[in-house]
Amino acid sequence: MEYLLELAASPTAWVALATLIVMEIVLGIDNLIFISILTNKLPEQHRQKARRIGIGMALILRLALLSTIAFIVQLTEPVIDIFGQTFSWKDMILIAGGLFLLWKATTEIHHSMDPAPDDPTSATSTVTLGFAAAIGQILMLDMVFSIDSIITAVGMTEHLPIMIIAVVVSVLVMLLAADPLAKFINDNPTVVMLALGFLIMIGMTLIAEGFGAHVPKGYVYAAMAFSATIEGLNMMSRRAKQKRVAAEA
């Protein structure tokens, strides 16, 4: 209790907490985009439930990892050497997660460009398998993003209460933003393609990080913000054109 009171009275601790919350929210954007795209593939009545399960599991995984900080630190220790390139468990997890994102985003882009015909005779089984598959894929990426998030937190502060508060706050923000973001993506088909492009870029970044090539996150998110701004201008232009056509009609 005395330790917590000392932290609460320390301005440095509050600065560290604010910084870590912002960092965790930014790192959660990748996770949230993937969850939004994936759950939008489900029938509408299952989407919100899948999003909440996915984000809830993200919180559980992060808190579970925080309880094993000594183990998390060991994940960064080299375990194998291939042609002079050393890899830790963290590196291998990031590479696997990056490859999965590349495969998933490429598959979704292909499906968007050349969708397969629906089979109405298997609607029930498709819903069941689709929901289970979506949850499984969300949990897989939750693990990748959670490890990256917790290692970042451990590197920024040594105080466990600060890490826990930052993680809980960032996941709550994800929970609040999940439904509006998913609806926005679903209502704007061109945004889906942009978001899939983001996932490909994130996947390549994870693979590069796994091979030891540090990619500053600021560059990645600046590129995402620039692309999103251009797409926003395009959407405004299309809506203005539609209004003019409707007025003339």
**pLDDT score for 119:** 46
Provide the Cα torsion 7, 8, 12, 18; round to 10°. Answer: 120
| Percent of all residues in the chain with a pLDDT value above 90, rounded to a whole number | 0
**pLDDT score for 109:** 80
Asked whether residue 188 carries a pLDDT value surpassing 50, the answer given is yes
**pLDDT score for 129:** 47
pLDDT tens sequence across 99-149: 988 888 888 788 777 655 554 433 333 444 478 888 888 888 888 887 777
pLDDT tens sequence across 62-88: 888 777 766 766 777 888 888 888 888
pLDDT tens sequence across 3-35: 666 667 777 778 777 878 887 787 778 788 888
Residues 28/171, Cβ–Cβ less than 8 Å: yes
Query: Quick count: other Cβ atoms within 10 Å of Cβ 43?
Result: 12
Rounded Cα gap, residues 238 and 189, in angstroms: 13
CA distances from 243 to 128, 188, 225, 236 (A): 41, 17, 27, 11
**pLDDT score for 27:** 72
Q: Is the dihedral of CA 18, 19, 23, 24 positive or negative?
A: negative
CA distances from 192 to 18, 32, 149, 177 (A): 31, 13, 25, 17
**pLDDT score for 124:** 38
What does the domain layout of the chain look like in residue ranges? 2-215
pTM score, whole prediction: 0.67
| Closest CA relative to residue 27, chosen from 186, 183, 155 | 155
Asked whether residue 246 carries a pLDDT value surpassing 80, the answer given is yes
219 — pLDDT class (breaks 50, 70, 90): confident
**pLDDT score for 114:** 66
Rounded Cα gap, residues 23 and 25, in angstroms: 5
Higher pLDDT, 15 or 57: 57
Question: How far does CA 214 lie from the centroid of its chain?
Answer: 19
**pLDDT score for 120:** 44
**pLDDT score for 117:** 53
Q: Is the dihedral of CA 215, 104, 39, 192 positive or negative?
A: positive
**pLDDT score for 116:** 57
Higher pLDDT, 189 or 223: 223
